[in-house]
């Protein structure tokens, strides 16, 4: 079994917590066992009330829930590891003769990385990178929502590489967050994650190696994605990518396949977030902090230690319960959340200069042009016939 290593052979160029995080303290797992938030959990998960206003009608809930269907029914990556489409060793009987027919495929780590990335993009990845698995990114304990069990957790020995996949969420859908339309963009991202990670893992097994597909389970997604060169962390606590901003969902495939590693790419997000507090100002629950980074989170749902911005998940989930819908307002209003285009590409180039003056000017321009404004759910449905 893989054990903690005080001096891992490959350390990323950004702070890493000196201990592992217990998944039991993750906010959605706390909704099961923590009496302090039991009322919010009941209101969000079970006390279903359809409303008359657009975005919260039965139509909108049906849309959101339909997009979540693959994750909820066949993957369960938010519930436990090593299950369903995220099974670590499931092999269809039709594949067995192929697995037993010869030795593993051999190539250079560089050559195999190129192949794996090509396959990942083919089956649904919008972004893909590869990094070493730092042991402190593995959960110390798993909290299994299906069995209601809390148990120590390890990944198998020798599983030391991670293929990190980003799936972009629909831009138009996120523009309507926090409504059922915005929730559908999130749900579709999670269902695509399960589909894509399963196929990539199956491909790697076909090469003769072990592959562990993961959703939100097993390991911390954001630091893995950073180490794999996909983006940077942000004031709102999520990954921001050069291509899609924060509008992505992350899945991973852990493997013993020898692979070449990508490098962390800093492109000015942290410096931009120091000048821009748009997500904090627009957050309905005031869960996102203003001001400088700290080393201490507000509650047990944070892994304190590294210097960064810590989001208050209790306030965030409290708003979800009040709104009876997941949110994503912070993603919607983030200036990095843009469709691809020449003007936006130019703005990204300016961000790379790490100029506080330019960053403040870009934030003012973003506001003046109306980016991040809520698009009413009724407008989304009005466009359905076009």
The per-residue b/e assignment along 32-60, b for 16 or more CB within 10 angstroms, e otherwise, is eebeebeebbebbeeeeeeeeebbbbeeb
For residue 49, the 8-state DSSP code is -
Q: Is residue 166 part of a domain?
A: yes
Q: Is residue 6 part of a domain?
A: no
Q: What is the pLDDT of residues 190-208, one digit of tens each?
A: 999 999 999 999 999 999 9
User: For residue 385, what pLDDT band results from cuts at 50, 70 and 90?
Assistant: low
Tokens of 273: 């977030």
Q: Is residue 18 part of a domain?
A: no
User: For residue 254, what pLDDT band results from cuts at 50, 70 and 90?
Assistant: very high
Q: Is residue 15 part of a domain?
A: no
Q: What is the pLDDT of residues 150-191, one digit of tens each?
A: 999 999 999 999 999 999 999 999 999 999 999 999 999 999
Domain count, the chain: 1
Q: Is residue 270 part of a domain?
A: yes
Q: Is residue 283 part of a domain?
A: yes
Instruction: Tell me how far CA of residue 108 lies from CA of 71, 206, 207, in angstroms.
Output: 35, 17, 14
Range of the domain at 128: 23-380
| Three-state secondary structure call for residue 16 | coil
Question: How many percent of the chain have pLDDT more than 90?
Answer: 91
Count how many Cα atoms sit within 13 Å of the Cα of residue 139 in the half-sphere of its side chain.
Answer: 24
Length of the chain: 386
Q: Is residue 184 part of a domain?
A: yes
Angle at 329 between CA 142 and CA 71, to 5 degrees: 40
For residue 179, the 8-state DSSP code is S
Instruction: Tell me how far CA of residue 30 lies from CA of 80, 150, 312, 321, in angstroms.
Output: 14, 12, 14, 14
Q: What would the mean pLDDT of 88-112 be, rounded to a whole number?
A: 93
Phi, psi of 299 (to 5 degrees): -160, -175
Tokens of 305: 């230690």
């Amino acid at each position: 079994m893989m054990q903690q290593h005080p001096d891992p052979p490959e350390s990323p160029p950004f702070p890493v917590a000196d201990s592992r995080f217990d998944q039991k303290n993750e906010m959605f797992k706390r909704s099961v066992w923590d009496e302090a938030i039991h009322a919010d959990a009941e209101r969000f998960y079970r006390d279903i009330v359809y409303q008359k206003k657009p975005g919260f009608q039965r139509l909108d809930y049906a849309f959101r829930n339909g997009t979540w269907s693959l994750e909820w029914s066949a993957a369960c990556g938010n519930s436990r590891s090593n299950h369903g489409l995220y099974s670590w060793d499931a092999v269809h009987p039709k594949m067995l003769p192929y697995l037993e027919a010869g030795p593993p495929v051999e190539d250079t780590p560089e050559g195999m990385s190129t192949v794996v990335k090509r396959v990942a993009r083919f089956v649904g990845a919008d972004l893909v990178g590869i990094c070493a698995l730092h042991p402190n990114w593995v959960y110390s304990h798993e909290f299994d929502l299906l069995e209601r069990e809390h148990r120590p957790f390890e990944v198998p020995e020798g599983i030391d590489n991670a293929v990190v996949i980003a799936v972009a969420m629909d831009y138009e859908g996120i523009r309507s967050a926090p409504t059922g339309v915005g929730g559908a963009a999130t749900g579709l991202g999670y269902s695509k994650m399960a589909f894509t990670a399963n196929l990539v893992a199956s491909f790697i097994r076909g090469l003769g190696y072990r592959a562990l597909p993961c959703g939100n389970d097993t390991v911390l997604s954001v630091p893995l994605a950073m180490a794999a060169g996909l983006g940077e962390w942000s004031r709102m606590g999520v990954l921001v990518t050069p291509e899609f901003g924060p509008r992505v969902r992350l899945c991973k495939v852990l493997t013993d396949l020898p692979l070449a590693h990508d490098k962390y790419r800093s492109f000015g997000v942290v410096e931009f977030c120091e000048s821009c507090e748009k997500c904090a100002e627009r957050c309905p629950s005031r869960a996102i902090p203003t001001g400088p980074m700290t080393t201490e989170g507000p509650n047990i749902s944070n892994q304190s230690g590294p210097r960064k911005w810590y989001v208050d998940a209790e306030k965030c989930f409290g708003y979800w319960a009040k709104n009876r819908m997941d949110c994503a307002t912070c993603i919607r209003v983030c200036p990095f959340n843009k469709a691809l285009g020449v003007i936006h590409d130019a703005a990204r180039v300016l961000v790379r200069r790490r100029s506080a003056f330019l960053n403040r000017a870009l934030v003012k321009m973003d506001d003046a042009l109306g980016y991040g404004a809520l698009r009413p759910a009724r407008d989304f449905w009005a466009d359905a016939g076009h």
